[in-house]
Amino acid sequence: MRAVLWLLALFAVAAASALFAGNNQGTITLFWPPYRLDLSLNLVLLLLALGFAIVYAALRGLAALLALPHEAQRWRLQQKERATHAALLDALAQFMAGRFLRSRKAALLALAQEAALSQAGEQLPHSRPLRALAHLIAAEDSHALQDQRQRELHLQQALEQAPKHGNQHEQALREGIQLRAARWALEGRDARSSLAWLAALPQGAARRTLALRLRLKATRHNQQTQEALETARLLAKHRAFSATAAQSIVRGLATELLDSAHDPLQLQQIWQSLEPAERALPELAIHAAQRLMGLGGEATQVRQWLLPAWPLLQQYPSTLSDVWALKLVRSLEASLHDIDSAWLARIEAAAQAHPQQVYLQYLAGVACMQRQLWGKAQQLLAACSQQLPDASLRRRAWLHLAHLAEQRGDAAAASAAWKQAAQAE
């Protein structure tokens, strides 16, 4: 469409020129005594246009001639700048390929070429970020080559080229350098230095997923379980892990935190510091209850902590593994010496609702024995003593039966129960 419009415009100009020039009878007379020169108006206009074109071409040619030194200098600068960028790209490519010596040489070459440009008075607009990146690549290569002295040297020079209060691009570059330094310290098993680098980050950068991952590893290496747990919670909120992996990590850290308690009061404080969703984890509740029993805590508190895991025992083995089901049974058994009526009713109702569940039958028998319901305890323990999957629980069931037999004066039954207890292992 544009070409058609231009063609129409040319036709219009040609037609107008033909109409004007074809019937133009005007003349221009030049007087130069004693001479007189008569020229047609069309010829004068043509000569004027031709003269303007000649003068314009001459001026452009002169300008181009005078600009040749400047263009030559600009071309040389462009070639040097391209060579600097090519060296930096080569350094990055060699680093990615694992050729660390070649990569460091290329990075140093880029720095040397940029320095030559600066000494020549030609400052690149992005010279500082370029130097920072080159030093960072050289530091990465030195880290890979186990050259700590060169790594620290290039790291400090990279930080100098990315000031803390620079523009947005320089601040982002500085944050990247600090994150790399934290990773290097962590790989060198220097968790304190890694945490120091992470602490120097701005608040926004410190909450990024990469920084949180490094902080999680550093706090775990430095045995700062509380800080590691808080970091793991943040990572879980950022969806840095799958739901299963996040739950496993949080559960493991919470378990370590519970194991660090030295008395029941400290353990209760740690338990209350956990989030409600964490206290509802069955495995964590069972471990906390076991830990509380080991520290001499109250049996009432133990049973209270086991409430989240109790419903899962009724659905065993679909919801609990053998290991955790056995731990839950042992924890409950250890806390039944002062069992109240509410828990007794709860255990009896579960045993009646699930007669095929031997763990529930065993717990109901022990609970009845603690409440001096000898006949019912005898019936429940005798029914499950042969079916319990764990040898230690079978042994304990026979021991309880032996004590019950001795209490009612049945020596033969007691002897048989003692024999079965000895053979249970």
Residue that finishes a domain, picked among 216, 248, 273: 273
pLDDT of 91: 93
In this structure, are 149 and 199 located in the same domain? no
**Neighbouring C-beta atoms of residue 272, cutoff 10 Å:** 8
Q: What's residue 140's pLDDT? A: 93
Please return the burial class of 385, using the count of CB atoms within 10 Å of its CB with bins 0-12, 13-18 and 19+.
buried
Structure confidence at residue 390 (pLDDT): 83
Burial degree of 144 (CB within 10 A; 0-12, 13-18, 19+):
middle
Which pTM value belongs to this model? 0.74
C-beta separation of 77 from 122 below 8 A:
yes
In this predicted structure, what is the pLDDT of residue 93?
93
Same structural domain, 156 and 195: no
Provide the pLDDT for residue 345.
Answer: 85
Q: Do residues 330 and 320 make contact, with C-beta atoms less than 8 angstroms apart?
A: no
Assigned domain for 280 exists: no
Query: Shortest CA distance to 351 belongs to which of 392, 316, 320, 318?
Result: 316
Residue 275 has phi, psi (to 5 degrees) of -75, 155
Residue 169 in domain: no
Distance CA 136, CA 170 (A): 13
Question: Of 273, 288, 309, at which residue does a domain stop?
Answer: 273
- Cβ-contact 201, 175 below 8 angstroms: yes
* Placement of tokens 């071309």 in the chain: 75
Shared domain for 151 and 206, answered yes or no, is no
Sign of the CA dihedral with 346 first, then 347, 353, and 359 last: positive
The reply to whether 143 falls in a domain is yes
Are residues 139 and 207 located together in one domain of the fold? no
Residue 80's Cβ-count burial label (10 Å; 0-12, 13-18, 19+) is middle
- My answer on whether 208 and 142 are in the same domain is no
Per-residue pLDDT, 23: 67
10 Å CB burial of residue 190 (0-12, 13-18, 19+) is middle
Instruction: Judge if 157 and 229 occupy the same domain.
Output: no
The answer as to whether 418 is a domain residue is: yes
- Structurally, the chain folds into a number of domains equal to 3
pLDDT of residue 322: 82
3-state SS assignment for residue 29: strand
Residue 9 lies in a domain: no
Among candidate residues 273, 296, 317, the one where a domain is terminated: 273
User: Cα-flanking dihedrals φ and ψ of residue 31, to 5°?
Assistant: -105, 125
Within 13 A of 47's CA, how many CA atoms are on the CB side?
7
Q: What is the DSSP string of 257-279?
A: HHHT--SHHHHHHHHHHS-HHHH
What is the predicted pLDDT for the residue at 243?
86
As a whole number of angstroms, the distance between CA 29 and CA 415 comes to 152
**Residue ranges of the chain with pLDDT lower than 50?**
none
Domain with residue 101: its CATH number is: 1.25.40
Tell whether 424 and 372 lie within a shared domain. yes
Phi and psi, residue 190, nearest 5°: -110, 80
3-state secondary structure of 315: coil
Q: How far apart are CA 393 and CA 389, in angstroms?
A: 8
Within a domain: residue 70? no
Range of the structural domain that residue 141 is part of: 77-161
In 90-157, beta strands by DSSP E: none
Identify whether residues 351 and 423 lie together within a single domain: yes
Tell me, what's the pLDDT at 238?
85
- Is residue 119 in some structural domain? yes
268 and 202 co-located in one domain: yes
Residue 344 and residue 412 share a domain: yes
In a domain, 207, yes or no: yes
Question: What residues are paired with 210 via a beta bridge?
Answer: none
